[in-house]
A and B are shown apart, each in its own frame.
Chain A
């Protein structure tokens, strides 16, 4: 069964460093998303991506964040200068237009 994959599973970084989280969505899907879940809180929407451009972003998704689909298979989330409060689980999701399928997540720890 096709699935969304994410790498790395755990990323530890120093405050102020750049991180890139990687996702491989399900191959025939058209819509791509990033969500995050801070420990003990809700899963929150960050950004959606369709047709090679951002279709919607939340207020969390400020200038420090960017997304890219550099080739036909990968979908990346870049955080330019990490802050302590960026520590969270980051989930990638994809869909063909119906339900969204989530990856296993990347745990980002900012020290």
Chain B
């Protein structure tokens, strides 16, 4: 069941450059999307979210873009810092389907930012 796909298992970028993490989804009922960061031996940490009524949401160095027609979203980190090195998970939910809105996760992308 691959409703949320992160096709790149890993990404390596230089400090100061842009990191772009991609995510695709298949379920057209999804209307709320989130990015989480996870360090080893810790739980996922919420980064940024976007509702399907928007196509962009920005928070500091993090920007999420949503292309509903392509069922694609991306997370941009500018500038990338070594402390950003972690696994990034894309998650989606069908918020309009109920208040509990379980999250469906992708497999994650390991981002390594080199000094």
Q: Are A100 and B99 in contact (CB under 8 A)?
A: no
Interface size bucket, A side?
Answer: 20 to 34
Determine whether the beta carbon of B100 is less than 8 Å from that of A31.
yes
Q: Do A48 and B100 touch across chains, with their CB atoms under 8 A apart?
A: yes
Q: Which of B64-115 contact A (CB under 8 A)?
A: 89, 91, 98-100, 102-108
**Would you call B44 and A42 a contact (CB within 8 A)?**
no
Q: Is the interface of A mostly helix, strand, loop or mixed?
A: strand
Provide the residues of chain B in CB contact with A48, threshold 8 Å: 100, 102
* B 17-47 binary contact with A (CB < 8 Å = 1; else 0): 0000000000000000010100001111110
Task: Tell me how many residue pairs across A and B have CB atoms closer than 8 Å.
Answer: 56
Q: Using A99-B34, A105-B43 as known contacts, say yes or no to A42 and B107 having CB atoms under 8 A apart.
A: yes
Question: Does A75 have its Cβ within 8 Å of any Cβ on chain B?
Answer: no
* B42→A100 contact, CB < 8 A: no
What is the bound-complex CA distance between A66 and B98, given in angstroms?
A: 21
Which residues of B sit under 8 angstroms from A102, Cβ to Cβ?
36, 43-46
Provide the A33-60 mask, 1 if CB < 8 A to any CB of B, else 0: 1010000011111001010000110100
Please tell me which one of the listed residues B41, B49, B98, B104 contacts residue A45 in the complex, with CB atoms under 8 A apart.
B104
Q: Are A55 and B98 in contact (CB under 8 A)?
A: yes
List of A residues within 8 angstroms of B105 by Cβ: 42-44
Judging by beta carbons under 8 Å apart, are A50 and B99 in contact? yes
Question: Please, which residue of chain B has its CB at the minimum distance from the CB of A50?
Answer: B100
Residues on A facing B (Cβ under 8 Å): 4, 6, 31, 33, 35, 41-45, 48, 50, 55-56, 58, 91, 93, 97-105
Question: Could you list 6 examples of A-B contacts with CB < 8 Å?
Answer: A43-B105, A48-B102, A50-B99, A56-B100, A101-B46, A105-B43
